[in-house]
Structures are given as structure tokens and as C-alpha cells.
Structure 1
Amino acid sequence: MYDILQQTIDELTAPDQMFAITETEVRGQTLKAWTHAPANLRDFWLSSAGHGDKDYLVYQNERLTYAQAHEQVARIANWLHTNGVGPGDKVAIAMRNYPEWMLSYWAIACAGATSVGVNAWWVPEELKYGLADSQTSLLICDQERLERFEEIRDAFPDMKVVTTRCETPAWATPWETLLSAPAELPEVEIDPDDDACIFYTSGTTGKPKGAQLTHQGCTNNVLSTLFSNLSQLNAVGKLSEKEGNDPMPPAATSPATIIAAPLFHVTTNNCAAQAQTFLGGKLVHMYKWDAGEALRIIEEEKITTFSSVPVMTREMIAHPDFATRDTSSMAMFGGGGAPVQADLVDKVSERGRGALPAQGYGLTETCGLVASSLGVFLSDKPGAAGRIVPTCEVCAIDSEGNALPAGEIGEICLRSIQVIKGYLNRPDATAETIVDGWLRTGDIGYVDADDFVYLVDRAKDMVLRGGENIYCSEVETVLFKFPGVAECAVFSVPDERLGEEVGAAIVPETGASFSAGELRAFCKDHLSPFKIPKYIWITDTPLPRNATGKFMKRELQSSLAVENAS
């Protein structure tokens, strides 16, 4: 069946087709790119104007059509331009998944400025770091984020602030003021390699790193996402016909998805939201995740695809309302940001009423998706992260940087127009991660003969909790600040619902005494709630170390029982 997949790929990427491939020069390298990818996000957004009166943004009882969204984006972009925001400026978006998130994002792009996607979980200390590191000049926020900013406002005396869905203080500008500006887009020049947005990733040195996603990286990602789905769907259809099965149902005429995971992630913003925008699809925003509410939305809004962290699909499939809600509009239950476990693939196949299981593999550092797998291909290769897109080069390397043959395990490296320009203000981290144009992902795995990527481990020391990357060193940095901590090792603990939780083994200094509750209370002032260790072991026995003096975390993981944690 993989010959049929390759045949389909060849047909779709032919020179006269929508997914034709070209070569382009990017920062001194010749890279493959989608011929028809828009040059920048402004052009991408303008191309969606033809969707007119179709529903675009839906939130509870609020609805905006594409035409209404385009008018509002033009007004916001005009206000930004009039207030001195243009190319090179950073505008932070700090809010829940409100419609204003996407409207702000498109307006910032149309003004030629750069969006900074603020992690909505950040506590004031983290928010302060992100705003200072990105040199943000304007902040657009909701009530919760406004309250956090007020705690650190003294550090940003010149910061302009726009508020939405809250009481606006006298020193800030209400959202309605932006919408009163003329509905005329400013004229700006945008280079394809300009920074479109900055998304922060957890840093191995305890501080998040601002990944610089370019305009062409983002627009190429949209076509990569669409191509990955279309090529495999077409191949699945050909396989069904060849085997004499019923043909696949026709594609839905009104695509729609749920915006459930945070928009400051590439999985939701770059892959789900932007791909749907290209198709003229409907984005239904959720205030917070609730599996029962998601099933209601699927039934009432005729949702066609769902792509978020796998735990959300798992919770919907297991929810008591799944049996009674009409999910027949669904074509695909997808997952990204974490592996889709084999049992979940089977559950979607068995209970999904025709919807195909799917998963994608990508990183913030690749502006989104670089490989995916769905339907029979996911079932046949349940351990694979996905088939690499044809505009991306992939290889596994050994410890000396040598490329390995197919099937041999090493560090996965990627080369693509979607690879970020670098990390903001972090030349050392950039040079370490992007070597001769190749992104060293930190994922350990291999590539098979069919160009499917398999991941077997992670070189990076992190916990993957429900799709959120939590770097152990960041948590350790905070715990070591607590008076009386002599040794501290943070590691992942398996969790049935979220995949992994944060565990910490701690040795007090001689004579020191403290409880797990005191440690967690201390962490609340320095870390987002999801980063605070759920499991804490306090012991007088020195933690095991290897010959180089590093803590042996795997030994801790296997020797410490969850029932003995505090």
C-alpha cells in the first residue's frame, strides 16, 4: 500500500498541481518549498477574503463571518499602524482562546509586526521575562493576564496595553477603540523571511526560548498540513477501491474544527486554525477544555476534524455522552504535541463512526507539522510519528553527526523552509540546535524505507504533560532556590490521563526540614501550575549519580514508587 501512497504523492506534487514543489534560497541554503505558498501571512490572510459570509470565528453565542473578520482585522491593523506599530515591532497576545486572539494575530501580521504568543499559564515572573526578552512594545490581554501584568507593570513604564473582555483601567486602551479605526489596511513591505511570530519553548537552562517563526515558514506549514492529510486520504480511498470496499465518503463541504488547545501552540494556531482558514473553515473556540462540551459542539456545529493533544480525543471517546451525541460529521480525530498511543488508534477506529484516527509530528522549531499518519497507515505503523512531507529532509545521525542508514537509531534531524530562523537573543542556543541548516530535534528515533519517522526516546530532558513541554531543569532551578534543598532531580512519572506528570526527588541539607506542601507553595510564585511537581519524594539518602556526577534519573524513575510520594 505504500507504493499507492507514493504514487498519490507524485500525482499531487506534479508541476501543474496545487502542491507543486519548487526550490528557493533561504539564508544561504537551497531548500524545497511549496510553489503556491503565499509569500507572507498578510497575503495568506487576504486570500481568505473570498470566503465572504461563511462562518469563521464562533465563541459561545458569538459569530463572525469571514467578511466581518476581515473588516475587524483591517481596523485593528490600521489602529496599530496609526499608533506606531510596524515592521520589527513586537506585539504580545496574552489571553484565552477568544476570537480576539486570531483577530489580533492576523492584524499584527497585516501591519508587518511580529506576534508574541504569551503562554496563558505564565505567572507574573514568567510574563515579565517573556515581555522583556521579546522587547514587546504593546500587549493585548484579557482580564486574567491584565491582573498578572499589573503586578509587574512598574518594570514596563512605556508599555502600551490593549484590553478585551474586562474592565479597562485608565492607562490602557479598550478593544472597542481599535474597532473604531478606519477599515483600511496599512501598506507595508514584508519579507518572506521576516519574523511572523515568537512562540516560547521551555528552555533547558531554566528560561524559555523565543523561537522565531518566519512568514514563509508559517505559510509553507499550512500547505504541509493540508498536503499530509489530502495525500493519505486519497491513498486510503484508492486502497479501499482496490480492495473492493465501499468508497470513502465525499469530503465535507463545510470544514470546521474546535479550537481547544491553546493558540500559543503551533499545533492549534499554525496547523488547526490556519489550515482551516485556508479552506474557509469554521473555528469554534472553547473557553476551557471539557469533553462533554466538545461533544455538544461537534453535534451542533457539525465539526469535521479535531486535532489537539491526544488526551482530549481519549476523553471524548471515553465520555458517557459519546454514545448519544451525533458525531457523524467527523472525518478525523487527530492528535499532536504528544504520541497517539496504539490503543487510542484502535478506539477511534472502532468507535469513531467512520472518522479516521490521525496524528502529526512537528515542533515549534518547524513552525508546525513535518510528518503525519492517518487511517490505515497509522494502524499499520502504530509506532510511527508519521510520513515526512516531501518539502522536508530528514535523517537520523549518530553521536558524531554522521547520517545513519534507514532503520538505524540516532538523533532525528530536519532540514526545511519551515525551520525557524533561530532563538531570539540566544545565538548559542541557535548554533547548538541548528547546525549547517539542519535542526537537531533532540528526539531519538529512526526513518524507515517508506519515509516514516519513528521516535523511540527523547534526548532532551523534559516531561511531556498533556502536550505541554516541561523541562526538568527549569523546575529544578526553582526547587534549588528553596532554602535547605541539597539535591534535586526532576523527571517524568507515567500518567494514564496526561501521558506524564512531574516528579521530583529531593534531599534536604543537614538539619533542614520541610514538607512537600511547602515546596509546592514556593513553586506557585515561580512556575505555572502545570509545571509544579505532582509527585515529591523527600529522602535523606543521596541521589544516585553516574561517573560524571550527573543524577541517574532513570534509576530514580524505576526505584521510586508513586504510592510513597507526597
Structure 2
Amino acid sequence: MGNEAIVPLDPQWPRLSLAQAQGLLTAPGAPFEMESVDIRGVPTRVWKNAPPSLRVITQLVRAYGMRDFTVYEGERVSFEANYRATCHIARRLVALGVGKGDRVALAMRNLPEWPAIFFAAASIGAIVVPLNAWWTGSEIDYAVRDSGAKILFVDGERDARLKDCYGDWPALEAVVVSRGAGPSAVRLEDWLGGANDWAGLDDVGLPEVEVAPDDDVTIFYTSGTTGSPKGALGTHRNLITNVLSSGYCAARTTLRRGETPASPPEPKRGLLVIPLFHVTACSASLMGAVVTGSTLYFMRKWDAAQAMDLIQRERIQLTGGVPTIAWQLLEHPEREQYDLSSLESVSYGGAPSAPELVKRIREAFGAQPGNGWGMTETMATVTLHSGEEYLARPTSAGPPVPVADLKIMDADGKVELPVGEVGELWARGPMIVKGYWNKPEATAETFVDGWVRTGDLARLDEEGYLYIVDRAKDMVIRGGENIYSSEVENVLYAHPAVTDCALIGLPHRVLGEEPAAVVHLAPGAQAGEAELQDWVRARLAAFKVPVAIRFVSEVLPRNAQGKILKRELHALFAEEAAA
């Protein structure tokens, strides 16, 4: 359990222990001082200096003025321009009758208008519902209906996919299309012009609305292992907690190295390649960039060569998101042709990663690797470490931030297990969401007295570092995208030839995992691999389609409780597992 460093570390590291660094950073009067507040009846440690709401953040960051906030191809939007666009959208929403608690759905790729729409809705007390832009029409249909969205913002691609559904959503009152020309929708450009025009918008300010820290602000959908997707209901405090949690971890790493953290933090240039509809991008990356005055660069579609060209041209300092990104940069045959020396940090979470990756990031780029653990129900960051902390423990997800608590519980959730033992990970803190939208039973099962039962199997070491061992929830994570086995299995079961099936994850060096299926066909029935893959592809997003399907003559092996013994199925994919 101790030090497992895979690269040589400074023999003087660490200058401070975790406890010493935390003591300095959280002392009375220090930037990361804590206090206890009551959250839904549970006394909870919070960051004392956290802004009270996203509305306040929206107004404060105007101070960054003409500094670039978002850059997308030929569009450069300053903080001032984004603020003006945000205010105009907010006032349009109020004119459309949107008030506190109303749901505003958002389905588009990473574009400059995404954060403007997000902060506009949040600033008037509405609940933003970021929808996975990769979802099929039926998947988005469920989320729009379940959330009861009143307004839907889409880009042109989503408009083309969804326009036939608009009339089927009873709560939906208006659709606003960006970069499209839907005949049944309002054009965002009619409100704002193009992104490069926003700086010239009138300074109208935000509508007057009272917004409190524990008011609802987001619904992020996360599929469960059974049944329909669940919408995690987040608060302003949930998202803002991440801002200080990320800042704290950066300061702790610097202190333990023997250096003095910058105050205020230095603005950075970051390449954001993970979608903003994920909590990692929205709650961790976007919030951190806004508060520190950093610049976010968007790409229309991930391409490693284009990313390296962008890093070189714009002197990008931060990137990452999921291990896939790092691997593709490291292993690109043309990497040596680009000057990537500006990279200071490559951080990721959301998918398994090999210790080898940690080492290679440091050796190839001279950058600090970073990793952490969180989930939709924790609004991203619960644990985080980078630099020497991560290099010393490359199989760990880091220690919890000071406002969070972790514990390892037995299978029944009754007994807390000792240090080093594997059990179910429970987490508590101001980043934990309120519960699941419209699902009181699922909420009661998952959220217990301020704790969230994560479904992850994990252990903690003697210093509190977290090690994720396995997932109790039946899920495959492909390049940071969650694929819930039951969802794919249910689609396969719907095929007339299939009588038994299971989805498993195949180890993949770059993506972490890929989905694969084992199928037993009905007597006399016929179906091939390509046919079943096409069957799934027609009903679910492309990243959920099994990359391989194996057919067995007998029903799948099960335990005494009737659950399929998935570990026994991996031998059928020996070739893929070695990829």
C-alpha cells in the first residue's frame, strides 16, 4: 500500500505531509477555510469562501473583460462578450415565461453558446438539463419527457435529428436552434448574432432573481443498471464546491513540492475535448476556467493531429479528460513534428488507466499527470491528485478533498470496513447531489443520511488515498463514456433470435474498455455478429454497440442467485483482450 512510484521522484519530496498541507491551506483566514452548514438536515463541511451561486460567478467573472474565454475555430469570445450574451439569453428566457425551477434542456456539441446558455438559465434560477449530444432520438426523448423541459436549445445537427419529436413533448413550449434553420424553431442568431458579434450587444444585465446555494440548478442523466436513466438533481453549491476543490488540490500539490501557490491562480489555456454535457467537463473544467479567467479551446471533433496543431499554435497548457486523449497524443506517429512543450498538465478521470500512462505523460511531455474520482451523483470531484502525488501512487485516484468524507462499507451497507479492505465506496460532502429527479425509491436506495452509495468497489490506504478496485454496478466505461450493460442487453434480448446474453468490458489500452457481448440463440434461430451489431446501432448510440459478439451453444453460466458469471465469459475474447 505505500509508495509505488514508477518514475524517480525528488528525494526531498514531499516537503509536507498531506495533513500538514491541509492544515496550512484550511487554517482560519486561509483561502480554503471550511465551516459547517446544515444541508438537508445533515451538518456538512463546506468551503467558507465559496461564492453562493452560479449567478454570482456569472457577474464576478465579468472583471476578466476582453480576455478570451472560449475559442472555437475562428470564433474568439471574451469574458465580457460571453457575459453580454448570457444576459440577453437570460432576459429572453424570462420573456418566454421561464422562472425558478423550470427546466431548460440543452443538446449540442461544445460550442461558445453552450456556456452562455448554461449560465443564463442558471442565473435566473432555472434548472439546466444538459443532454448527451451523442444520444439517439429515443434516448433524448426520454430525458426531455422525464425532466419536463419547458425550453430546448439545440444545434443544427440535433435539430435535424429531433425536429419530428418536438410536437410529442407536452411540456415543451419553445425550441431555440443555434447554427441551424429549423422552420419550427427560434434561431439563437436572431437573439445574439454570431459568436464574434456578442461583444457589440447592449449591456442589459441579468434579470433580478434571488438564487440560494442549495437551489436546484442541473439535471445530469446517468443510466442505471436497471430500468430507465436517472436524472441527478444538482444544486448551485454542488457545482461551486468543485471550483474550490480543484483549486485546493493544485495548491496542495504545489505546497508539498516546496513551492508557494500562486494567489490568485494564474489563468491557463486549456484544450477541452470532452463534452460539456458530462459533469467532468461542466462541473470541473468549465467552472474552474470561469473562476480563474482561463481560456477554453473547443474542437468540433476530436482529432489527435488537429489537437497537436492547436496545442502548438495556441501554446495550450492543459488538456486531458479521459485516458484515451492522452494515449492518442502519445502514440501518434507525427507527434515529434509538433512542439508540445507548452503542456503543463494532462489530467483525466472517468475511465481505467494504466500506470504506464502516468509515466509516459511525464517522460514524453514533461507535463504533470493528474487523476481523480467522481461520478454524476457527486457532481465530479471527490478525490484528486497530480504531479508527484500521482506519480508516487499511479494506481490511486488520490485522497478526498477536505470537505469530503469517504468510507468503505460491507455488502449490506451496515458495517464500515477497516483500512485496506475492499468494499463498497460511500462518499459524503457538499458536492453530493440531492437525489434522482422523479425517482424517490431510487433516491432512497442510493442516498443515505448525506452519503451516496457509489456502487464502486474500492479500498482506502492508511493516508486516505482511494483505490478503485472494480465496479459493483454493471457498467463498461469506453473512453470515458458510460455503457450500462443492462441497457445493451435489453436491446439484444429484444431481437427475436436471442434468448440469453450478457455484455462485458474488454480491456483496451487506449480506451480503457470496449463493450463485447456473449449471446445464446433460440433453438433453430439464426443471427450473425453484424446483424446484431446493426440491431443495437439502430436503437442506441454508436459507442454502445458491442465491438465483438461471441455465440455459445448453452445458456450463460449463473450463480445460485441466478446472476450471470460474467468473469467466466472473458476467455471467449482472448484475442480482443490482448489488443
**Do they superpose with TM above 0.5?**
yes
Residue equivalent to 1:304? 317
Conserved? CA contact 2:222–2:229, under 8 Å: yes
2:379 corresponds to 1:364:
no
2:558 corresponds to 1:545:
yes
Determine the C-alpha separation between the residues in 2 that align with 1:184 and 1:149: 33
- Larger deviation: 130-139 or 435-444? 435-444
CA displacement at 1:351 relative to structure 2: 1.2
CA displacement at 1:251 relative to structure 2: 10
Conserved? CA contact 1:339–1:359, under 8 Å: no
Conserved? CA contact 1:37–1:220, under 8 Å: yes
2:338 corresponds to 1:317:
no
Determine the C-alpha separation between the residues in 2 that align with 1:483 and 1:408: 44
AA aligned to 2:244 is: L
Residue equivalent to 1:387? 399
User: What SS does the aligned partner of 2:370 have?
Assistant: strand
Compared with structure 1, are the counterparts of its residues 249 and 73 closer, same or farther at alpha carbon in structure 2 (3 Å cutoff)? closer
User: What SS does the aligned partner of 1:491 have?
Assistant: strand
AA aligned to 2:174 is: K
2:66 to 43, 53, 66: 53
Determine the C-alpha separation between the residues in 2 that align with 1:111 and 1:56: 22
Determine the C-alpha separation between the residues in 2 that align with 1:438 and 1:449: 21
Conserved? CA contact 1:237–1:248, under 8 Å: no
> TM-score scaled by structure 1?
0.94
CA displacement at 1:101 relative to structure 2: 0.8
Q: Percent identity?
A: 39
Residue equivalent to 2:432? 419
Residue equivalent to 2:207? 186
Residue equivalent to 1:272? 285
CA displacement at 1:323 relative to structure 2: 2.1
Determine the C-alpha separation between the residues in 2 that align with 1:30 and 1:164: 43
CA displacement at 1:36 relative to structure 2: 1.0
User: What SS does the aligned partner of 2:164 have?
Assistant: helix
Residue equivalent to 1:374? 386
Residue equivalent to 1:162? 176
Determine the C-alpha separation between the residues in 1 that align with 2:166 and 2:63: 42
Question: Deviations for 1:431-474, whole angstroms, at most 9, x for unmatched residues?
Answer: 11111221111111111121211111111101010011111001
Conserved? CA contact 2:550–2:572, under 8 Å: no
Question: Deviations for 1:105-126, whole angstroms, at most 9, x for unmatched residues?
Answer: 0111112111101001111111
Residue equivalent to 1:232? 253
User: What SS does the aligned partner of 1:25 have?
Assistant: strand
CA displacement at 1:420 relative to structure 2: 0.6
Question: Deviations for 1:14-68, whole angstroms, at most 9, x for unmatched residues?
Answer: 1101111111100000000001111111112212111111110100011011111
Compared with structure 1, are the counterparts of its residues 105 and 530 closer, same or farther at alpha carbon in structure 2 (3 Å cutoff)? same
CA displacement at 1:5 relative to structure 2: 3.3
User: What SS does the aligned partner of 2:163 have?
Assistant: helix
Compared with structure 1, are the counterparts of its residues 433 and 320 closer, same or farther at alpha carbon in structure 2 (3 Å cutoff)? same
User: What SS does the aligned partner of 1:132 have?
Assistant: helix
Q: Map 1:60-99 to 2 at 5 A.
A: 60-99=73-112
Residue equivalent to 1:398? 410
AA aligned to 1:540 is: S
Residue equivalent to 1:244? none
User: What SS does the aligned partner of 1:441 have?
Assistant: strand
CA displacement at 1:559 relative to structure 2: 4.1
AA aligned to 2:404 is: C
Determine the C-alpha separation between the residues in 1 that align with 2:571 and 2:206: 58
Question: Deviations for 1:227-273, whole angstroms, at most 9, x for unmatched residues?
Answer: 112211221235xxxxxxxx999998441111201101111111111
1:207 to 209, 212, 228: 228
Compute the RMSD of aligned alpha carbons.
Answer: 2.0
User: What SS does the aligned partner of 1:119 have?
Assistant: coil
Residue equivalent to 2:461? 448
Residue equivalent to 2:506? 493
Question: Deviations for 1:532-564, whole angstroms, at most 9, x for unmatched residues?
Answer: 111111222221111122211110113444479
Determine the C-alpha separation between the residues in 2 that align with 1:426 and 1:231: 38
Runs (4+) off by over 6 Å: 247-252
AA aligned to 1:86 is: G
Question: Deviations for 1:74-113, whole angstroms, at most 9, x for unmatched residues?
Answer: 1010110111111111111101101111111011111211
Conserved? CA contact 2:150–2:173, under 8 Å: yes
Question: Deviations for 1:261-315, whole angstroms, at most 9, x for unmatched residues?
Answer: 1101111111111101110000111111111111122222222211300110111
User: What SS does the aligned partner of 2:397 have?
Assistant: strand
Compared with structure 1, are the counterparts of its residues 414 and 249 closer, same or farther at alpha carbon in structure 2 (3 Å cutoff)? closer
CA displacement at 1:174 relative to structure 2: 0.4
CA displacement at 1:326 relative to structure 2: 2.3
Conserved? CA contact 1:206–1:475, under 8 Å: no
Conserved? CA contact 2:105–2:144, under 8 Å: yes
Conserved? CA contact 1:236–1:375, under 8 Å: no
2:36 to 8, 13, 23: 23
CA displacement at 1:377 relative to structure 2: 1.3
Determine the C-alpha separation between the residues in 2 that align with 1:563 and 1:385: 27
Residue equivalent to 1:223? 244
Determine the C-alpha separation between the residues in 1 that align with 2:354 and 2:162: 39
User: What SS does the aligned partner of 2:134 have?
Assistant: coil
1:133 to 135, 146, 151: 146
User: What SS does the aligned partner of 1:386 have?
Assistant: coil
> TM-score scaled by structure 2?
0.92
CA displacement at 1:2 relative to structure 2: 7.9
AA aligned to 2:512 is: G
Determine the C-alpha separation between the residues in 1 that align with 2:266 and 2:49: 22
CA displacement at 1:360 relative to structure 2: 1.5
AA aligned to 1:284 is: Y
Determine the C-alpha separation between the residues in 1 that align with 2:149 and 2:263: 46
Residue equivalent to 2:272? 259
Determine the C-alpha separation between the residues in 2 that align with 1:367 and 1:257: 20
Gaps of 5+ in 2: 1-13, 194-200
Residue equivalent to 1:195? 216
Gaps of 5+ in 1: 239-246
Residue equivalent to 2:11? none
Determine the C-alpha separation between the residues in 2 that align with 1:269 and 1:48: 16
2:522 corresponds to 1:509:
yes
Compared with structure 1, are the counterparts of its residues 299 and 234 closer, same or farther at alpha carbon in structure 2 (3 Å cutoff)? farther
User: What is the number of residues matched between the two proteins?
Assistant: 555
Question: Deviations for 1:162-212, whole angstroms, at most 9, x for unmatched residues?
Answer: 00011231x210002332896231111222212211111122114211111
